[in-house]
Chain A
């Protein structure tokens, strides 16, 4: 699976949009981009995934560049409960039998 690079930490003011970047310059054509987050003392939680089109759900939006070498997770109106470690992961589809491989992620602190 392709390696990802994320900043170790970021701050965001409550109510503002949080934009979390991820570089995945070696991504292969069939690899998806996944985002998970982990709130303190809990297991990771799925947020969103995409292949090449931008995606949006009730939690967040995922913007993938046209060359697919980077992506941005957007939390449109961050709240204190969004304080967590956010993981960007790229992997092939399930049929490849490859597990999710987590890096160190970005620690997002939402500040009141």
Chain B
């Protein structure tokens, strides 16, 4: 059973650079979510997709953040012109939109450090 896979696991970059994270969900899952987590806080919702459609993006932190899921399978989260405040763990989760509840399966996360 292949779980949610995120790459890279760690990224160190200089302020002002662009970074991209990739998430490969569980294969039959049609929903994909991105969260951000800073130290001592719970995960903060950013955006989510159902298949290739981005259904919620108002909580993306700024226009420097964008996400895509072009073929309804893997997704990318891009941060342009990174700032030190972007340093965080970026978590991806997937779920099946079936039935009532649809538990989320999370990946291990991608940790970003902006110098």
Contacts and interface: CB of A to CB of B under 8 A. Distances in A.
Contact of A44 (B40, B43, B44, B48): B43
B68 interface: no
A103 interface: yes
Interface in A44-60: 44-46, 49
A37 B95 CA distance: 17
A34 B102 CA distance: 11
Given A42-B108, A43-B4, A43-B93, A101 B101 contact: no
Q: Mostly helix, strand, loop or mixed at chain B's interface?
A: loop
B99 A94 contact: yes
Contacts, number: 60
A94 B95 CA distance: 10
Interface in B75-94: 91, 93
Interface in B24-48: 33, 35, 40-45, 48
Interface residues of A, number: 24
Nearest to A85: B42
Closest 8 A/B residue pairs (Cβ): A43-B106, A102-B42, A46-B103, A99-B45, A93-B100, A102-B43, A94-B102, A44-B106
Interface of A: 32, 34, 36, 38, 41-46, 49, 85, 87, 93-95, 97, 99-105
Given A43-B106, A44-B43, 5 more contacts: A32-B100, A44-B93, A44-B106, A102-B44, A104-B40
7 contacts: A42-B106, A42-B108, A42-B109, A99-B56, A102-B45, A104-B40, A104-B42
